[in-house]
Amino acid sequence: MRPLRRILPSLTCLYAIDAVARHMSFTSAARELGLSQPAVSKSIRLAEENLGFELFERRPGGLAYTVKGREVCAEISVSLSRLFEVTNQASEDAAETVLRLVFSSSFVSMWLLPRLSEFTRRYPDITFRISEYSGRPNPAELEFDFSSRLGDGNWHDVKAWEYAPEVLYAVASPEYVAAHPEVLDINSLHKATLLHAIEAKRNRMDWAGWFATAGKPHSRLDEGMIFSDYHSAIHAALLSQGVALGWEHLVGLFVKENRLRCVAKTKVATGQNFYLVTPAERQIGHHHRLFRDWVIEQARNDREKLAMLE
């Protein structure tokens, strides 16, 4: 029996076979591995020459497994996954564990930070690298362990876990409501100072969409204050400068503390949900599961507490 190092002379060959088998594309595999496409193609060709048979059929429409190739690729995938799990667990046991988070500034300041101390008390060995990002993070362009997406959860580039439905209502400070009691009636709400958030890289429901979905469409809703970041619009509402659209999972804490009040007695559910996401290729370790389950638990508790206030 020939030694494995003579059949597959480097780990690069194993990585290349695994990546090509998952993507069925030399180009996509090269992008994942940070190599050139010719380098990946050469590694596969070298492996096939040493093995004595082809792993993939090159067809006009793309790649396909050979019979032997399918079996070999499956075994390589299982072996590499097991190796990752063993070494990753050893690293977690030996050193501090870091989670890289990429969220919007609104989610970081209004949801994550007010709750994060509770998580760190539970799991003091887990630390964070938190980045604020205004668009939808692409795993092919950004390195992260967790982010958030709005939609139906059917994405190929990430694994997704639902944590909150998209529900919006109008919110204002108690002081603003006291000075402008007309905001309590949806028929006169449009006359208030409306606080708009128009973010360049994020498409979200605006006031026109909210009124229309609530059955009270208005043609002119462009007056008031316009902000380029949602967090600023909510901050203006807290300072009694007008009425903002409140995403329930973000403003729920302010509502519970009576720093903001829901006005017009109208909630709009879009039918979409917010999901915690991690790159599809990410191997989920123990620290990932702890954070994922904690976020889902916190969001569920928030909804239950808000329901008690209604």
Write out pLDDT tens, residues 204-223: 889 999 999 999 888 777 77
Model confidence pLDDT, tens digit, residues 144-154: 999 999 999 99
Task: Work out the average pLDDT over 111-138.
Answer: 90
pLDDT of 141 > 90? The answer is no
Task: Work out the average pLDDT over 269-280.
Answer: 94
Q: Which residues contact 304 (CB under 8 A, 6 or more apart)?
A: none
Query: Six-digit token pair at 154?
Result: 């059917």
Give the single-character DSSP code of 146.
B
Task: Work out the average pLDDT over 38-64.
Answer: 87
Which residue, among 1, 3, 35, 4, has the nearest Cα to 20 in the 3D structure?
35
Spatial distance between the Cα atoms of 203 and 201, rounded to a whole number of angstroms: 7
pLDDT of 242 > 50? The answer is yes
According to the model, what pLDDT value does residue 94 have?
A: 44
CB 196 within 8 A of CB 187: no
Model confidence pLDDT, tens digit, residues 58-90: 888 888 889 998 998 898 888 888 887 777 666
278: left (phi over 0), alpha (psi -120 to 50) or beta: beta
pTM of the model: 0.67
Beta strand 126-132 with 225-227 is unpaired
According to the model, what pLDDT value does residue 9 have?
A: 59
Q: Give the rounded percent of residues in the chain with a pLDDT score beyond 70.
A: 92
CB 224 within 8 A of CB 195: yes
Q: What is the largest CA-CA distance in the chain?
A: 86
pLDDT band at 304 (very low <50, low <70, confident <90, very high): confident
According to the model, what pLDDT value does residue 12 have?
A: 79
> In the chain, what is the straight-line distance between the N-terminal and C-terminal CA atoms, in Å?
73
Angstrom CA distances, 116 to 111, 233, 275, stand at: 9, 23, 18
